[in-house]
Amino acid sequence: MIDSAGDECSDGPGSVAVDACCETVELSPTAPGASDGRRTSAARTGVGWEERILPRAVQGGGTVDRVVVGMTGSTGQRYRRTLELLAETEYESHLVLSDAAKLNLAQEGERSIEAVTDLADVAYDVSNVGAAPASGSFLTAGMVVAPCSMKTLSTVAHGNSGDLITRAADVTLKERRPLVLMPREKPFNRIHLQNMLDVTDAGGIIMPPFPSFYQDLDRIDEMVTRTVARTLRQLDVDVGIDEWTGMDGADPE
């Protein structure tokens, strides 16, 4: 392997070397958090992003227990709940956070950027179009973009892979894997609606985060959780929400 300085690197016995965003990361299978191949968080360092690819992800040879999560510059950063629910499952979360999403995180005052990236198993710099999710050979169960800005929707609809979020979305579509976009905007204009139709025609799923009210939910967090859980079910990721069993006493006639 060649590191960022152009020098030859040698892999130590039993280690995995990963060229991650201008630096090489050596990750031993016996390192803390590596025994089960999960929960090795990405860290933001003083020299840039350090992307630690999990041992199972590198060596698994066919695992699809990964979900790519994109967060873009639209209101609704509460939908980071996607990462929190994935953390309760066996699925690895691979996060790409756009620059505009970072601005909205600060504006909405929910969590710091570092707190959100720490929710993910792996986090990537949005400008790193050479990262793992940019390739179809990187097997995943699918991708969720939550929230999805109208810019990202338009870019995906037109196949313009200008950053890692839109490239990963394009890869998800071309590999015929579930791509779920959660657009946050109101009202929609004709261009927005046409872009949603184009994504749908390409195989994607448009799932606006409209809350449901028939469960008598009285807290915003409960509504967000149920919406995200329904979204993850589009990827066959079950986080244990109650199924609808019908209205009590309803007359089918």
Tens-of-pLDDT digits for all 253 residues of the chain? 333 333 434 444 333 333 333 333 333 333 333 334 334 334 333 334 444 444 344 434 445 799 999 999 877 778 888 999 999 999 999 999 999 999 888 888 767 889 899 999 999 999 999 999 999 999 999 999 999 999 999 999 999 999 999 999 999 999 999 999 999 888 999 999 999 999 999 999 999 988 777 666 667 778 888 888 889 999 999 887 777 777 765 555 5
Any residues with CB less than 8 A from the CB of 127 and at least 6 apart, and which?
163, 164
Two tokens, residue 187: 């009202």
Q: Which residue has the tokens 């991650």?
A: 20
Distance CA 199, CA 144 (A): 13
pTM for this one?
A: 0.72
List of domains in the chain: 64-233 (3.40.50.1950)
Closest CA to 126 of 150, 152, 158: 152
Q: What is the pLDDT of residue 225?
A: 85
- Residue 36: Cβ-neighbour burial (10 angstroms; 0-12, 13-18, 19+): exposed
